[in-house]
Chains A and B, each alone.
Chain A
Amino acid sequence: AQSVTQLGSHVSVSEGALVLLRCNYSSSVPPYLFWYVQYPNQGLQLLLKYTTGATLVKGINGFEAEFKKSETSFHLTKPSAHMSDAAEYFCAVSDRGTGGFKTIFGAGTRLFVKA
């Protein structure tokens, strides 16, 4: 069975500082990995995804993540935090299970950005 663990339900950084949100997954087959962002009172929006190929993937708003199979990790980073990055971030994993395609989400990490 697949699962996702996000380390830290809350992360606080200063504006301009490095953002690092941690995600570890378990999957019996090669996974598809995603990061989604959720702003208050909105649905989730895809930040970036890994399906195949290059293990370092770049997404919107300057975020990137690296798939490390040996560590079963897919951590999200951004070199310099901006106030507008304050939101909830969800890591997710999915594969082509029997009969369809379902996604398992982590519990989320709320990012706070201090001025």
Chain B
Amino acid sequence: EADIYQTPRYLVIGTGKKITLECSQTMGHDKMYWYQQDPGMELHLIHYSYGVNSTEKGDLSSESTVSRIRTEHFPLTLESARPSHTSQYLCASLRDGPYEQYFGPGTRLTVT
């Protein structure tokens, strides 16, 4: 069973608010990822990290930012939420060798 956690699971927030989506894993994985998923669509990579103090933007442009100060923690921040940010956000970490990703349960964000 994967030990990767995301909070909150659901969030409804007004336009202009600052929000942070939390992601933590207890598996000691170096590589972590944030994906954005809209209904019926593929996952789009928005941020990734290959270790502490390493962050990169993904293939899909995003107004969010991330940090990686500790191996187990990879939070995503939106400085000013907009309705276009309404989506599901999935966090994942990668187990090297088997190359498989472990996913958190996701945060479903609605910006009104």
Contacts and interface: CB of A to CB of B under 8 A. Distances in A.
Query: Which secondary structure dominates chain B's binding surface?
Result: strand
B59 to A, nearest CB: 8
Interface size class of A (residues with CB under 8 A): 20 to 34
Contacts of A46: 100-102
A103 B40 contact: no
A99 B48 CA distance: 12
A41 interface: yes
Interface of B: 2, 4, 6, 9, 31, 33, 35, 40-43, 45, 48, 50, 56, 58, 90, 92, 94, 96, 98-106, 108
Given A43-B106, A49-B99, A100-B31, 10 more contacts: A9-B40, A32-B99, A43-B4, A43-B104, A99-B50, A100-B50, A102-B48, A103-B33, A103-B101, A108-B42
